[in-house]
Structure 1
Amino acid sequence: MLMRTNEPAADAQDARERMNESESAALYRLMTWLSPAFPVGAFSYSSGIEWAVESGDIADADSLSHWLCTLLAEGSGFCDAVFLAQAHRATLSRDYAQLRDIAELAAAFVPSRERHLETSAQGRAFIEIARAAWNNDLLGQTLAACEISMVYPIAVGVVSAAHAIPLAPTMHAFLHGLTSNWISAGARLVPLGQTDSQRVLALLEPVVAATALRALNATVNDLGSATFRADLASMRHESQYTRLFRS
């Protein structure tokens, strides 16, 4: 006698393993927008890592992972994640006055001229490309209502919200992309091999997850950083004699 499978259970399992159309679109767009290949020029910036390597603060995979762990949890990584969350929520609620305030605060938080160039240029490129290839009514309305320059985390928050991409995966994808770019800069400067670079990325996985969770639950009153050495690195890079990167 032929055995009959538990068809309802199998169907339920299949349903759990499938993504619906909106989930597939969200994943596709996040993987595209926050990929190193997305043309915002991220490869040309090091966020001060170049000076840290020159000064000897970063010399190997261990010192790079320690530097980036602190930068993520206590510095610009956390702050940018909070700004992204606030921009995402303001866009969804059509609170354009709040969005303008958040955008201005995010720009003011940048500690140096080169870091301001880095985040403002990437933000501008991100918006321009998103409008050219993935424009929609809410994105157009939001940008028209705000009429301000948006730094990178604000741009990512606005565009992802305009496309109804949930905040939590956007946050994780943003922090993963940020971390990957920092590691790429460190790998070229130290230099590091591909295996060591992936070890650093693996070590930082729980830090990215914890930073994302903190930022999702934070308010603007929780903003703040304590990465003075990294801030000084971004300032001193401006006068560094030989440079591969723009920041």
Structure 2
Amino acid sequence: MSTSEEGARPAAISATDPAALYRLLTWLSPAFPIGGFSYSSGIEWAVEAGDIGDAAALRGWLATMLTNGSGLCDAAFLAHAYRAAELDDMASLREVAELAAAFVPSRERQLETTAQGRAFIEIARSAWNCAGLDEAVARCESIVYPVAVGLVGAVHGVPLGPLLHGFLHALTSNWISAGSRLVPLGQTDSQRVLAALEPVVAATADRALLASLDDIGGATFRADLASLHHETQYTRLFRS
């Protein structure tokens, strides 16, 4: 990119600029090779335990994860990482990255979010590098997935609002994909679940934009237990 060669960050992109849409569709596509298809965030155990057995149960489980669990927490961490990187506030970025890593409730979820975060950063460096990215990454000892997305989006000047909505859509779609294979669900039922969660995703994005670091927290105990139990589940398709 010419901006990288000149040593300056790209200018902020308008939300209606085709470049913003192009990058969002690329980075948050299921085809972007971060290995998201390998993880279920505990859904695999929830299906085996009988908590999720049909489309309605999956919809309810995911709505709770979005509103009171990792969906909201990750979205809020993304927003804070974005703002810190946008302001070149590396001390705050490091604090957000450390807190986001500490919030992960289980070993497998830690593997899931750190592996995807590393992959996202490395692919961005290889194919979408720009000035400021290496410096921001170097200030963080560990970068979980939502922090990686927020950091890369900020240094590329992609608007926070669309980036946040795209992230939550991708997260929800990946959960539904896992559920569709495990329950199993047909393609039409999977799309019905995604459509039903549209207002939940929008509301979660709005809450995340306003949340302070002190506001971040979850109350999805069953989902956290599912993630912990998955570590010793006898037969598994997913890594989490």
| TM-score (norm: length of structure 2) | 0.93
Amino acid at match of 1:151: V
Matching residue of 1:6: none
Matching residue of 2:150: 157
Give the secondary structure class of the aligned counterpart of 1:50: helix
| Distance in 2, Cα, partners of 1:109 & 1:169 | 24
Matching residue of 2:28: 34
Shift of 1:140: 2.1
Task: Note if contact 2:97-2:140 (Cα within 8 Å) is conserved in structure 1.
Answer: no
| Distance in 1, Cα, partners of 2:60 & 2:68 | 12
Question: Which runs of structure 2 are paired with 1:1-247 in the superposition (5 Å)?
Answer: 23-144=17-138, 146-247=139-240
* Percent of residue pairs identical: 70
Shift of 1:22: 7.7
Structure of greater Rg: 1
Write out the 4+ residue segments of structure 1 that deviate beyond 4 Å after TM superposition.
Answer: 19-22
| Distance in 1, Cα, partners of 2:62 & 2:133 | 32
| Distance in 2, Cα, partners of 1:88 & 1:20 | 16
Change in Cα spacing, 1:196 to 1:57, as seen in structure 2 (3 Å) is same
Instruction: String of CA shifts for 1:165-196, please: whole Å, max 9, x gaps.
Output: 01000000000000000000000000000000
| Distance in 1, Cα, partners of 2:151 & 2:14 | 23
Root-mean-square deviation (CA, aligned residues, Å) is 1.3
Gap runs ≥5 in structure 1: 1-18
Amino acid at match of 2:143: M
Change in Cα spacing, 1:81 to 1:243, as seen in structure 2 (3 Å) is same
| Distance in 1, Cα, partners of 2:236 & 2:101 | 25
Give the secondary structure class of the aligned counterpart of 1:137: coil
| Distance in 2, Cα, partners of 1:119 & 1:170 | 18
Instruction: String of CA shifts for 1:27-81, please: whole Å, max 9, x gaps.
Output: 1001000011110000000000000000000000000000000000000000000
Task: Note if contact 2:59-2:196 (Cα within 8 Å) is conserved in structure 1.
Answer: yes
Change in Cα spacing, 1:192 to 1:89, as seen in structure 2 (3 Å) is same
Matching residue of 2:9: none
Amino acid at match of 1:171: L
| Distance in 2, Cα, partners of 1:237 & 1:20 | 42
Amino acid at match of 1:54: E
Amino acid at match of 2:44: E
Gap runs ≥5 in structure 2: 1-12
Q: Aligned residue pairs: how many?
A: 228
